[in-house]
Structure 1
Amino acid sequence: MVDFKHIIRKGITRARLFLTAAAAILIFNQFVWYPLHAGAAEESAQGVQSAAAAENLRLKDRLYEIEAMINKKHGEIEQVKESIDSGKNARRIKDDEYQSARKRLDESEKKGRGLYDEKARLSKSLKLNTDNLLRKKSLLNDRIRAAYKNSFRKKMGYVIKSESFVDFYVNLNYLTRIIKFDTEFISDIIKKVALVKKQREELDIKLKELDLAKNNAAECEKSLKRASDRMGSDISGLYERELALKQELAVLYLEKERVEKQIVEDAPAAKEETKVPLTAAAPETTETQLAGTDAQKPPEAAVNISSLAFAWPLKSSKSVLSFYGTQKDPKYNVSYFNSGIDITGAYGEEVVASADGKVKYKGEMKSVGKLLIIDHGGNITTLYSHLGVIEVGMGQKIGRGETIGRLTEKSESGAEKPLLHFEIRINGGAKDPMDYL
């Protein structure tokens, strides 16, 4: 350590004193201050790098979690589809049974109409037989009264008192024929009555069978109709469940796309941040040390976004399918936030750089296809996804309007036409591209 009092006592001049102090400061900075500062800067850089790595790990864990949930939703959707197919087959069988029951009921009704026609015929026959029976019964009563008035003994007296044999034969034959006619008449009446009773009994049995068959067919028809309606309701519920799962799946895909973009955006930034403290901790020049001032690397010049003339990112097509902000998916009826714009184009159409810059990222992701990010300086980047071909390399400098790729035939978004998803980001935050194009 320098003894300044001793130097003063020896008559050292102020100039020499100043040079001696400067030398002491130089020695202190070279062997004490800068090693300590470099160690602190290195620790700070390691801290930044560790934080970035931890955030990157968290995002990847979240991405794996989302992918697992997506796979689970796909499995649930497949199960619901299988249940729908099974329900449709079961309902088809019930509908066939219903049609068979309906056919049996129609046949029963047709048979019933035949039986009612037969009933009408039997009723007519019954009335006719009843009338004949009543008429013959009346005749029989007349004969009984006549027989009562003319008893059999009296009739036999007529036969015995015949004056000749011929008269006897005639009278006997007449009496025999009367007895035979009466006997046959009575027998015929009995048969008619029995026939009418039998026909009525058969008709009643057929009508009862018909009513039973119709009731059974009607009940079976109602039961099958209820079962078919219940199955239809279950199938409708399964369709609603499938739609809900697809909506949840769409949300997961959007979340996955957001996390993947964040991983892409944060990964290069984390590497650049670790270089800044080390640059600041570099040793200073001797002249600076002698002057006693700190030298730092000048920061990157800020770029005014208004000075960047952003070009339309497609060569020809101008049709915007979806704008920036909250949108509604027409297929799944779910709301989502679009962090850029989606422009429809033609298969193979040229995609051009919106402004001068340098390729910051080039890659491919499952949810967005081939992806390209161009850095325009001043923390301003543009993102191009759903590309079919990328025609530039990593780190390549790109001029405004220069072709960087071409549209794919079918985008991963499920759109019917080829499309380009385009974003403008400032300090990592998405902005409405229409405000700058």
Structure 2
Amino acid sequence: MRKFYISFFAILLSIIMSASVFATSLNDAKKELDEISKNIKETKNELNEVKEEQDNVRKQLDEIEKELEAKEKELATVEKKLAQTQAELDNVRQELAETEEELLKTQERLEQLKTELDEATRKAEEQEQLNAERLRAMYMNSTSSYLKLLLEAKSLNDLLNRIDMIIQMVTYDQQVFDKMVEYRNEVEEKTFACARQEEQITQIKNEIENKKVLLEQKEKEIKDTKNKIKKQKAAIEAAQNEKEALLNQLSEEEAKVRRELEQMEKESKELEKLIKELTKKSQSSNPPNKNGYVWPAPGYTHITSPFGYRVHPITKQYKMHKGIDISGSDISNKPAVAAADGTVILSQYYGTYGYCVIIDHGGGISTLYAHGWSTTVSAGQKVKRGDTVLKIGSTGSSTGPHLHFEVRKNGEPVNPLNYVSP
């Protein structure tokens, strides 16, 4: 930039000195400007590289974003499954607790039944012993003993008493027998109940063992699932960190591009200032043009980008387009002609304009022809309307062969279509 200012003031100094040394001074300054132009061209290439790098970073960010979304969906699914497994595990634990409680109650009932069985067995044995003794006594006394007992009665009242006693004895014997049968039945029932309780206990124990196995399986499943979630979260966090790093890198690259663009804008403003100064100096020897203007690209009338605000095709920024772009399928290397008579005040490679020619037509009006492959005139040269000044090309900040044409009034861009028409 320091070299630019040196060359800029050198140009102004040469203009002030005299018209005779005007072209020579510009040619001397051309070397300095060429050096600046090379730097600008390198900056443009760097800008394109940054743009490509930005595109690559954006693609990487898109891929990471998709991967992150997939991981988040997968994690949500696993967490849902984990919640379901945890609920199932809680149910198994509850069932296991209930089963163990039922087993405890069943074991208590079994112990109670065994106690009752022992008591029933004891009573049955005692009753059988008593019944055996009564049978033995009845056998020893035989049935005649009851008859003899009645015949030995001394009175009617004694007879009735003896009959009542015999009835009580028979009733007692029957009760002893019935009690023995009852105790035997109770022993059988208690024995069956104990066997059934023991069978139920065995079944409950098997259920407990099965539930314990299921519980262990569920616990292992939860442990494996948690480990899987942990790994997935680690992968997501790594992707997020990578994304943040890429975003930081992208921000740095964007800042760099913005600085480059600001520098280019500064060069454009310096060009406007230069045009104003050169135009002001040349007005004294070049009166306002009276011959009208011609189309600067003979045979090519297609305007690809008009005058006014637009999205820049390279920088992608919404900014002012200070001229019109004229293009055609075979326009490369075709001549760009002077729109009117005038004096060439700049003919060189000029930054983002590439090879550029500026003609002063007097009255504060100048025209600019940019992006050529080469220029065909020199600074200080007089040209006539229709003279070739440039070979149309694609140098500087350009996406393809075309002619960038500007009309400036007192250095400020105006709509070229107010002066020329296809």
TM-score by length of 2: 0.53
One-letter code of the match for 1:247?
R
Partner of 2:259: 248
Cα shift at 1:385: 1.5
CA shift for structure 1 position 145: 2.8
The alpha-carbon deviation at position 341 of structure 1 amounts to 1.2
Q: Give distance in 2, aligned partners of 1:137 and 1:366.
A: 102
Work out whether residues 357 and 374 of structure 1, in 8 Å CA contact, stay in contact via their aligned partners in 2: yes
Corresponding residue for residue 356 of structure 1: 341
Change in 2 beyond 3 A, CA 1:418/1:213: same
| Partner SS, residue 313 of structure 1 | coil
Tell whether 2:313 aligns with 1:342.
Answer: no
Amino acid at match of 1:194: K
Which amino acid letter does the alignment assign opposite residue 384 of structure 1?
Y
Q: Secondary structure at the match of 2:352?
A: coil
CA–CA distance in structure 1, aligned partners of residues 327 and 50 of structure 2: 35
The answer to whether the Cα contact below 8 Å between 1:367 and 1:413 also exists between their aligned partners in 2 is: yes
Is 2:357 the partner of 1:368?
no
Percent pairwise identity = 15
The answer to whether structure 1 residue 382 and structure 2 residue 367 are counterparts is yes
Question: Deviations 1:102-142 (Å, cap 9, x if unpaired)?
Answer: 5654664676687688789x679959x949975x9768746
| CA deviation map 1:375-396 (0-9, x unaligned) | 6579975331124687x66699
- 2:305 maps to a residue whose letter is L
CA-atom RMSD, angstroms?
A: 6.1
* Residues 74-113 of structure 1 aligned to structure 2 (within 5 Å): 101=75, 104-105=78-79, 108=82
- Tell me, in whole angstroms, the C-alpha distance in 2 between the residues paired with 1:370 and 1:65: 14
Q: 1:155 to 1:330 in 2, by over 3 A?
A: farther
Amino acid across the alignment from 2:368:
L
- In the alignment, the residues of structure 2 paired with residue 403 and residue 302 of structure 1 have an alpha-carbon distance, to the nearest angstrom, of 20
Quote the offset at 1:309 in angstroms: 1.2
Aligned residue for 1:321? 305
CA distance in 1, matches of 2:346, 2:74: 67
Distance in 1, Cα, partners of 2:285 & 2:68: 76
Query: Structure 1 residues 347, 387: CA separation in 2 closer, same or farther (over 3 Å shift)?
Result: farther
Q: Which structure 2 segments of 5+ residues have no match? A: 1-16, 137-180
SS of the aligned residue for 1:251 comes to: helix
Sort the Cα spacing of 1:76 and 1:385 in 2 relative to 1 into closer, same or farther, 3 A.
closer
Contact 1:247 1:333 in 2 (8 A): no
Is the CA contact 2:297–2:326 (under 8 Å) kept in the aligned structure 1? no
Tell me by how many angstroms 1:420 deviates.
2.5
Conservation of the 8 A alpha-carbon contact between 1:371 and 1:386: yes
Q: Is the 8 A contact 1:133 1:189 kept in 2?
A: no
Matched residue count: 349
Aligned pairs for 1:388-399 (under 5 A) are 399=384
Q: Provide the residue aligned with 2:403 in structure 1.
A: 420
Structure number with greater Rg is: 2
Residues 353, 399 of structure 1: 8 Å contact kept: yes
Q: Quote the residue 1:37 is aligned against.
A: none
**CA distance in 2: counterparts of 1:96 and 1:323, whole angstroms:** 47
Aligned to 2:3: none
User: 1:86/1:329 Cα in 2 relative to 1: closer, same or farther (>3 Å)?
Assistant: closer
Q: Return the alpha-carbon distance in structure 1 between the equivalents of residues 193 and 294 of structure 2.
A: 126
Residue aligning to 2:292: 309
Does the CA-based 8 Å contact 1:67-1:256 persist in structure 2? Answer: no
Question: Where do 1:3-402 residues align within 5 Å?
Answer: 59=33, 63=37, 66=40, 101=75, 104-105=78-79, 108=82, 126=99, 130=102, 134=106, 141=112, 144-145=115-116, 147-151=118-122, 153-154=125-126, 157=129, 184-185=195-196, 187-213=198-224, 215-217=226-228, 221=232, 224-255=235-266, 301-305=285-289, 307-315=290-298, 317=301, 319=303, 321-323=305-307, 329=312, 332=315, 340-349=322-331, 351-357=336-342, 367-374=352-359, 382-387=367-372, 399-401=384-386
Cα separation, 2, equivalents of 1:210 and 1:245 = 52
Distance 1:412 1:75, change over 3 A: closer
CA shift, 1:148, in A, is: 0.9
Give the whole-Å Cα distance in 1 for the aligned partners of 2:354 and 2:44: 17
- Kindly provide the CA deviation profile for residues 146-201 of structure 1, in whole angstroms up to 9, marking residues without a partner as x: 541440743774998899xxxxxxx9x99998897577446434423433443454
Conserved? CA contact 2:359–2:367, under 8 Å = yes
Partners of 1:251 and 1:347 in 2: how far apart? 33
Whole-angstrom distance in 2 between the partners of 1:66 and 1:352: 26
Question: Does 2:385 align with 1:432?
Answer: no
Aligned equivalents of 1:79, 1:73: Cα separation in 2: 10
Distance 1:155 1:105, change over 3 A: farther
Partners of 1:260 and 1:400 in 2: how far apart? 24
Name the CA shift for 1:400/1:84 in 2 (closer, same or farther; >3 Å): closer
In 1: Cα distance, 2:330 partner to 2:392 partner? 5
Q: What is the rounded CA distance, in whole Å, between the counterparts of 2:109 and 2:284 in structure 1?
A: 136
Q: How far is the alpha carbon of 1:250 from its aligned partner?
A: 3.0
Residue 246 of structure 1 aligns with an amino acid whose one-letter code is V
TM-score (norm 1): 0.52
Taking the aligned partners of 1:374 and 1:52, their CA distance within structure 2 comes to 14
